[in-house]
Structure 1
Amino acid sequence: MVNKVYFIGAGPGDVDLITVKGRNILSGADVVIYAGSLVSKEHMNYCKNGVKTYNSASMTLKEVIEVIDKYYNEGKNVVRLHTGDPTIYGAIKEQMDELDKLHIPYEVVPGVSSFTAAAAAIKSEFTLPNVSQTVILTRMEGRTPVPENESLEKLASVGCSMALFLSVNMIDKVVERLRAGYGRNVPVAVIQKATWQDEKCVVGTLDDIAEKVKSENITKTAQILVGDFINCEYDRSLLYDENFTHMYRKGKNEDSGN
């Protein structure tokens, strides 16, 4: 390993959903700072003996940077282990900015995001022909606001597939905003702890999803997926259509040239 800091996506829950690259780097780390409230502690089983671990759930940005700075300057290999993919709601930009000030090199290793894990859990595809070719990743405003032009109503009015992070504890407000944006009843799925052993999946519509979520006592660590892609008729993809030609395949009725 090169002496630099690695921001690694640990995946959504299942420890085998970290990338091969991510696990290889993790296994050689001297120091691991991990998001203990979301990252499975099983990842630590793949670390070498004597590794120092820090749970960032109870740390401030300043404390995280101080730990990184200390061990980097001692020549140690430091891993910052984030849940899912670190580039989505990972708060890594502010960490990287601080490392830039300290002239500490770093690399970001992507991971499987919880929104794709959630879609896999309900065996769905976000981008269905003639249904939706766009996916919006967003969240409800809470203690942390969202830009005014990214209100849930405005985003929902597009009518495409959506994945909401960090919002299930406000499910009633979410439903109200989505209904105002979509203007109709649409399918909704809520997946708690996708790929964990205690994963829960609840599927319904805007009309009944709030009650279903409450009856299952889902209050955190969940994705809200919204859109017709969850339950709809759709066109087949042209990619595998026998009459569709592309650079790798001639259509069935097209002259083969032989």
Structure 2
Amino acid sequence: MTVVSFVGAGPGDKDLITLKGYRRLKDADVVVYAGSLVNPELLGYCRQDARKFDSASMTLKEIIDVMTNAVKKRQKVVRLQTGDFSIYGSIREQIEELRKRGVDFECIPGVSSFLGAASQMGVEYTVPEVAQSVIITRMSGRTRVPEAESLKSLASHHTSMVIFLSTQSIRKVVRQLLMGGYSQETPAAVIYKATWPDEKVVRGTLMDIADKTSEANISRTALIMVGAFLGKDYTYSKLYDAAFTHTYRKGIKNVEE
């Protein structure tokens, strides 16, 4: 029996799908894709005779039915998810339903939008002695967030933070972050559709990022990035320090010796 291949589509740029994901997409008989978020150019990798289903208007049952029926016919099925499906990908419920029906699956990871965003901006979330932890979260809305994971609570750690699915409420986001302990001078950025041709980047601080985002007409399909990693302060790592020894480098001898 064939399997359902869950494939992370990457952050937007059609070339940022993995080679393994591309191969599955190219060979697929049936593709169920997240049409509201996946770059439609990715469908150009499919065979012309492949059947394509946009899941934006489908229910969970309809999605599972399409995939299950195709597998029963020994057809190759790709479930094309946004970014990397391990973050806000809603694949757990799909996997559980496939298991109930005895359908096997595989998961092929992709490049998350939070990684694409950092690459486009040329920043590193973990700057030595500035920030060594990253919190990936979202603001509570129609999908509830556990109270212990509220933005106000998480902000108390002052780590690098990436906030998904919350740009439409950025003023509330900022208020929660300030209440949690970030200062108004904390660097912040909003990146709309990272790696897409129509990408937009807004930089500022928690004092003005909401106004700047509004002026740029960004309200969805964007990430909010907050933390000192976006600032001017940085420290070089020990990894390439000539005076720092490790397993692969014993140190550089004094040339005068």
C-alpha contact 1:7 1:82 (8 A) present in aligned 2: yes
Report SS of the residue matched to 2:239: helix
TM-aligned CA deviation for residue 113 of structure 1:
0.4
What amino acid does structure 1 have at the position aligned with 2:22? Answer: R
Aligned-partner Cα distance in 2 for 1:83–1:226: 23
Aligned-partner Cα distance in 1 for 2:23–2:134: 31
Question: Within 5 Å, which residues of 2 pair with 1:1-258?
Answer: 3-185=2-184, 186-253=186-253
Aligned-partner Cα distance in 1 for 2:181–2:240: 31
Which stretches of structure 1, 4 residues or longer, exceed 2 Å deviation after superposition?
A: none
Residues 78-103 of structure 1, C-alpha deviations (whole Å, 9 max, x = no match):
00000100110000000000011111
Residues 172-206 of structure 1, C-alpha deviations (whole Å, 9 max, x = no match):
00000011113412100000000000000000000
Greater shift after overlay, 137-146 or 176-185? 176-185
TM-score, length of structure 1 as denominator length: 0.96
> RMSD value over aligned CA atoms?
1.2
Residues 146-178 of structure 1, C-alpha deviations (whole Å, 9 max, x = no match):
011001011111011000000000000000001
Q: Share of identical aligned residues, percent?
A: 53
Aligned-partner Cα distance in 2 for 1:183–1:191: 20
What amino acid does structure 2 have at the position aligned with 1:171? Answer: I
C-alpha contact 1:243 1:253 (8 A) present in aligned 2: no
Greater shift after overlay, 64-73 or 178-187? 178-187
C-alpha contact 1:121 1:201 (8 A) present in aligned 2: no
TM-aligned CA deviation for residue 51 of structure 1:
0.2
Aligned-partner Cα distance in 1 for 2:118–2:219: 19
Report SS of the residue matched to 1:191: strand
TM-score, length of structure 2 as denominator length: 0.97
C-alpha contact 2:158 2:182 (8 A) present in aligned 1: no
Residues 61-115 of structure 1, C-alpha deviations (whole Å, 9 max, x = no match):
1110010111110110000000100110000000000011111110110000000
Q: Which runs of 5+ in 1 are unaligned?
A: none
Aligned-partner Cα distance in 2 for 1:8–1:182: 38
Report SS of the residue matched to 1:220: coil
Greater shift after overlay, 116-125 or 164-173? 116-125
Aligned-partner Cα distance in 1 for 2:10–2:67: 22
C-alpha contact 1:8 1:111 (8 A) present in aligned 2: yes
Report SS of the residue matched to 2:37: coil
